[in-house]
Structure 1
């Protein structure tokens, strides 16, 4: 859900009437959360106002290239119905929208209402005709409000690392994908290289956190280091996907090994 800044054949199941509400163009889906999930939800709501600016500054704009690669590897095509899970402020959703066109549909899901409000406002500011195919949905990655085999492609940008139950999230991604379709999951790479790990740690301590402190977000961005430490390695991510049922899974390093993208085929 961040780069070096904080570096999902039938219709969707309708949420219960009591859970249905509208927030500035975003549909909200009620979902149960653990205290850890609540803390992460609050964290991403706090960083939402400066999220995009910090992404640009801290990655020198490279996060845009990594996100284009992620979308390309999802194999989303014109007319497809696709999911951007943990959509944040919408970068991948906007790219997917351009891929699937006016005949396609993009469901953009996140658990942070503030991030979704930011995404909806960006949609208004950067309007293109195809962007009307995006639906912003507040929801839970562990309990997606869609029926089985609903999507032609799924992307996740900097989100799986922050999910409390990663195996369950991967099973949900598998469930909602059509057979033969792909999930493309972009995030920080937990490298086995001591040099890459040391460089990553140095950048967080000496670049990311000091810059974030200028926005009063020191503690929020200190979280990044521990989240990478507790994330999964390349092999562990591939095993996670296969255990969820995917027929094939391959993790690719990006950004000199600082980033990675897991491509899993149902």
Structure 2
């Protein structure tokens, strides 16, 4: 899928993105995102980045970690998603220390060695050049900083893999159909087929220059978090 098609897709699903994520994951996506933020190592006063921030879940969790002494930048190339993220942040009190910025994960508009920690949720699978995205993430992190990348994962267990495929086809797509978003959510299964496995992600992270990389399967192996550290 081209970058323009991905941008169009995420702009189109923005109004119901949070609602569908919550219902289709039975609310578990919030737990997985909390795990990713914890693994990122974000701490009070840190300057953090959330790449492909979407409607802002991970950026808001990062803001809770860094407090008003720190700062978070949420970057995404889908303007409709950013608008919803900004609305959600404005509804909070006190206002979280977050800047929402339109930008490309393949050409991050930040200097090298800039961030103390980073996250990415369900973004790596959708970029058009995964190695380049990882290199950009490695470039903008400070030495010793970590990033946690949450996404779908192909389970090694054949039975769970079959269950995952059934769930995507029989539950996710029909649920999206009621919002006239069948095609937008039908893309998940084929994108997952093309997505590198956990061990392949570790190899790609090493090739991108990260000193350490570990992939943690979660949710029975249907999800995974790639945790990387810059040397």
TM bin (shorter chain): over 0.9
After TM superposition, the runs of 4+ consecutive aligned structure 1 residues lying more than 4 A away are: none
Aligned length: 230
Other structure's SS at 2:187 match = helix
Distance 2:22 2:131 in 1: 31
Distance 2:157 2:12 in 1: 33
Distance 2:119 2:32 in 1: 12
Whether 1:147 and 2:111 are equivalent positions in the alignment is yes
Distance 1:193 1:166 in 2: 25
Cα contact 1:86–1:109 (8 A) shared by 2 = yes
- The match for 1:212 is 176
Whether 1:262 and 2:198 are equivalent positions in the alignment is no
User: How far did residue 191 of structure 1 move?
Assistant: 2.3
Q: Which structure 2 residues correspond to residues 1-266 of structure 1 after superposition, within 5 A?
A: 36-125=2-91, 127-131=92-96, 133-266=97-230
Structure 2: give runs of 5+ residues left out of the alignment: none
Cα contact 2:202–2:213 (8 A) shared by 1 = yes
C-alpha offsets along residues 95-132 of structure 1, whole Å, 9 cap, x if unaligned? 0001001110101000100000011111122x13251x
User: How far did residue 252 of structure 1 move?
Assistant: 0.3
User: How far did residue 193 of structure 1 move?
Assistant: 2.2
Distance 1:170 1:100 in 2: 23
Q: TM-score, normalised by structure 1?
A: 0.85
Distance 2:168 2:139 in 1: 35
User: How far did residue 256 of structure 1 move?
Assistant: 1.1
Q: CA RMSD in A?
A: 0.9
Distance 1:199 1:128 in 2: 41
Q: TM-score, normalised by structure 2?
A: 0.98
Other structure's SS at 2:210 match = coil
Cα contact 1:111–1:139 (8 A) shared by 2 = yes
Cα contact 2:42–2:66 (8 A) shared by 1 = yes
- The match for 1:7 is none
Distance 2:13 2:93 in 1: 26
